[in-house]
């Protein structure tokens, strides 16, 4: 029997469709045809660790796992966790120079000193911390503000880091 390696694990078109549809339905991640090799390569490790010879066997396991643990591991394998402080600098420049000054002025006029922000896809936390830093800098010396930043991600492993 041939040894199972990342290179000889084949992802059929049918299995790729099942995986991409399931991931989209549960997480909203669109795995288009150009991502097929990425999916095969990243999930090959899950197949080897579970001693599955085919993606069909692996998907049956994922779907029958009532704990949802394997599905979480599948998502962790497929998600890209690229992050850094003040990543996408043009977004933070807009936030600091245009959006926050206008928001703070509107809220001051209404005596509403509460700000809530949500960082969806926060990875290991650098981006929500960057948002919090921007909010704290914008409100410094301008009264008491009640600021909260919610940080979420579909990857359980990066949330543990955050």
Question: Is 153 known to be catalytic?
Answer: yes
Catalytic pick from 42, 48, 65, 76?
A: 42
Question: Is 42 known to be catalytic?
Answer: yes
Catalytic pick from 15, 40, 46, 153?
A: 153
Q: What are φ and ψ of residue 28, in 5° steps?
A: 80, 10
Longest dimension (CA), the chain: 74
Closest by CA to 104, choosing from 131, 128, 129, 135, is 135
Distances (CA, A) of 139 to 96, 109, 129: 11, 15, 15
CB-based contact 18:57 (threshold 8 Å): no
Cβ neighbours of 58 (radius 10 Å)? 23
Given 3-state DSSP classes, what are the helix, strand and coil percentages for the chain, each rounded to the nearest 5?
Answer: 55, 10, 35
Q: List active site positions.
A: 42, 153
């Amino acid at each position: 029997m041939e040894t199972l390696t990342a290179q000889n694990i084949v992802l059929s078109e049918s299995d790729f469709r099942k995986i991409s549809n399931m991931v989209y339905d549960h997480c909203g991640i669109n795995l288009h045809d150009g991502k097929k090799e990425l999916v095969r390569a990243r999930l090959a490790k899950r197949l080897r660790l579970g001693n599955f010879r085919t993606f069909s066997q692996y998907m049956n396991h994922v779907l029958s796992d009532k704990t949802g643990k394997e599905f979480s591991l599948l998502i962790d394998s497929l998600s890209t966790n690229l992050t850094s402080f003040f990543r996408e600098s043009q977004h933070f420049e807009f936030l600091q120079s245009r959006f926050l000054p206008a928001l703070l002025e509107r809220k001051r006029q209404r005596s509403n000193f509460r700000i809530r922000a949500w960082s969806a896809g926060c990875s290991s936390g650098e981006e929500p911390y960057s948002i919090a830093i921007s909010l704290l800098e914008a409100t410094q010396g301008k009264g008491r503000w009640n600021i909260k930043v919610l940080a979420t991600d579909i990857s359980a492993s990066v949330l543990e880091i955050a």
